[in-house]
Amino acid sequence: MIGRHDKLGIKQTIQKKWMDYVVKMMLAGLTEKEIRAELDEFLVTQKQSGGTGERGKKTYGMAISILASWFAPDKELIPFRDHALELIRHENQQNWLPFHWAVISASYPFWFNVARQTGRLFNLQNQITQPQVFSRLKEQYGDRETVARNARYTIRSFVAWDALKDSKIKGCYEQSKRIEISDANHAILLYEAALHADKEGKASLGLLKNNPAFFPFQIPVLSGDYIAQNSKAIEIVRYGLDDELLKLK
């Protein structure tokens, strides 16, 4: 059986407005069956470029599998999704990107890994290319065409979400202006997503604070105690003199 950490799943560019549409339906109280029916009608006219036009059923069926991170996550992620939905309920739609980032990262660790490699490259240079990201992913997933294809769709999703922008040089990307996360609860949600994306469900606080997978965001500095006290899902384990380990309960 293939688990979350083994599947790639990003088989086409995902538009943020599709994710927004799903969340709006969930906030309106629609059931999974009703949401799938609505998406069948909505996505058939939505192109990957963001425009409209006829598309094949197979193509938008691939999109639904990613959108299901919100309305039909794996059983183990339902509490996480419910918490994300409760937080997003009180946010203006223009501020929904961190929530989508967290929910997809938790459901599809491949997305999180592409983001991490992208962020690592930006720590070294001002512009990046797809082949540079692909070469780093090969070390983890092997030299497979499906890896490059899924990574390509993921990166184009980053562009569609304004986390990346096309540079003047063809094939190169630049980092967009980072989004400041001012609410500590939203930062904790991103940290929890990172723990779900990790097979072991744990990471040192230092690594989480500086995780390059959060490259689109400016995250406030939080102490381990604060995170543990304000999260029902994360606990803190101290080791050494000053080291703190965050892990899922």
Query: Alpha helix (H) ranges present in the chain?
Result: 16-27, 32-43, 57-71, 78-88, 97-107, 109-122, 130-141, 145-160, 184-197, 205-209, 224-229
Point out the least confidently predicted range of 79-83, 84-88, 120-124, 140-144.
140-144
What local confidence, expressed as pLDDT, does residue 37 receive?
92
CATH topology assigned to domain 1-179:
1.10.3540
For the segment 18-26, the average pLDDT, to the nearest whole number, is 96
Residue 86's pLDDT is 97
Bridge partner residues of 174 (DSSP): 127, 165
Residue 117 has pLDDT above 50, yes or no: yes
- Please give the Cα distance from 128 to 174 (Å, whole number): 7
Q: What is the mean pLDDT of residues 68-75?
A: 96
Question: Is pLDDT above 70 for 176?
Answer: yes
Residue extents of the structural domains in the chain = 1-179, 180-248
**pLDDT tens digit string along 195-204?**
999 999 999 9
Within a 10 A sphere around the Cβ of 179, how many other Cβ atoms? 17
Q: Cβ–Cβ contacts within 10 Å for residue 204, how many? A: 15
**Residue 1, pLDDT score:** 46
pLDDT for the residue numbered 8: 74
pLDDT > 80? residue 44: no
Question: Does pLDDT of 57 surpass 70?
Answer: no
Residue 110: HSE in the Cβ half-sphere, 13 Å Cα cutoff: 24
Q: Quick one: pLDDT at residue 59? A: 52
For residue 97, count other CB atoms closer than 10 A to its CB. Answer: 18
The whole-angstrom distance between residue 220's C-alpha and the CA centroid of its chain comes to: 19
* Residues 53-73, mean pLDDT to the nearest whole number: 73
DSSP bridge partners of 202? 247
Find out whether 225 and 173 touch, Cβ atoms under 8 Å: no
